């Protein structure tokens, strides 16, 4: 197991870029990385993609009998339920990040949420995006069929007055797990087409990197900028890493649960 590396009072993070994978595997890997941190391993920043495209549901989001499964299948879109809260996100043309860190390293849940999002803002500004944190005044989201990007809340990453990063968080024992979606293009507007009874007035499109930059940044450019922003925000460059054999074994076991209809449609 990889342990934390310290430079003075600075913790060295692992940074992992995993290849595109199905939703159940992606969620299982996040859980496995959180378990490694709980065992004393270094905190982790991970970047990943989804293959096939996947609609991820919030842990507490009511969803059973509320989505058109035939339409999703016809569009080649998988479905998974996340271990974290929040609302539905369509993962297709986007970057997903996850962070697993011991509770207390970045403060409590709210402090960690702000610290992580602030570090992502630093990275996005390196790309030329005028990103910032949403100021106070937004409402906390409640479980619903509204898209995750429908409205920003305090502390979330916004650009041009619209939500740019949709993130969700959960405490897993002594570890904080947070992950989120950074859209390259607007696929979130498609979510309403798969809802059996769409809710009116909740389809506000997100900000996207393609619209903000006038181009789609290459994956390597995007991950390099976010990694550099992470180093600037936390005072030390993350260490390039990969999944250990233990993490792969844990993920393989957890993936069976995330792929189970009993988990996906328990609400």
Please tell me whether residue 231 adopts helix, strand or coil conformation.
helix
| CA 86 and chain centroid, separation | 11
Half-sphere exposure of 65 (CA within 13 A, CB side): 0
Would you say 121 and 133 are in contact if contact means Cβ atoms under 8 Å apart? yes
Can 54 be counted among the known catalytic residues?
Answer: no
What does DSSP say about strands 89-91 and 54-57: parallel, antiparallel, or unpaired?
Answer: antiparallel
Distance from first CA to last CA of the chain, Å, rounded? Answer: 36
Q: Which of 29, 222, 8, 43 is nearest to 116 (CA)?
A: 43
172 SS3 class: strand
State how far the Cα of 165 lies from the Cα of 40, in Å rounded to an integer: 29
Whether 149 contacts 182, CB under 8 Å: no
Given 55, 100, 106, 148, the catalytic residue: 148
For residue 160, the SS3 value is: coil
| Total residues found in the chain within this entry | 267
Distance CA 219, CA 183 (A): 12
Residues acting as catalytic residues: 148
């Amino acid at each position: 197991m990889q342990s934390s590396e310290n430079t003075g009072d600075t913790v060295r993070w692992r940074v992992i870029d995993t290849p595109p994978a199905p939703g159940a595997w992606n969620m299982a890997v996040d859980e496995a990385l959180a378990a490694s941190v709980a065992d004393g391993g270094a905190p982790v920043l991970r970047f990943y993609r989804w293959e096939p495209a996947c609609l991820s549901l919030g842990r507490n989001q009511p969803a059973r009998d509320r989505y058109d499964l035939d339409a999703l299948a016809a569009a080649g879109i998988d479905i998974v339920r996340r271990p974290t809260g929040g609302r539905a996100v369509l993962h297709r043309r986007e970057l997903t990040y996850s962070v697993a860190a011991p509770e207390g390293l970045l403060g409590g849940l709210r402090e960690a949420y702000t610290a992580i999002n602030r570090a992502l803002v630093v990275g996005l500004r390196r790309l030329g995006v005028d990103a910032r944190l949403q100021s106070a005044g937004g409402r906390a989201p409640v479980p619903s069929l509204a898209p995750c990007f429908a409205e920003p809340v305090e502390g979330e990453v916004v650009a041009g007055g619209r939500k740019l990063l949709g993130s969700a968080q959960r405490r897993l024992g002594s570890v904080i797990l947070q992950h989120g979606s950074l859209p390259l293009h607007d696929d979130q507007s498609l979510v309403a087409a798969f809802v059996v009874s769409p809710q009116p007035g909740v389809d506000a499109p997100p900000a996207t990197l393609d619209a903000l930059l006038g181009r789609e940044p290459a994956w390597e450019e995007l991950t390099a900028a976010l990694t550099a922003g992470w180093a600037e925000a936390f005072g030390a460059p993350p260490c390039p890493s990969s999944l250990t054999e233990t993490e792969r074994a844990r993920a393989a076991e957890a993936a069976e649960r995330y792929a189970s209809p009993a988990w996906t449609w328990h609400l």
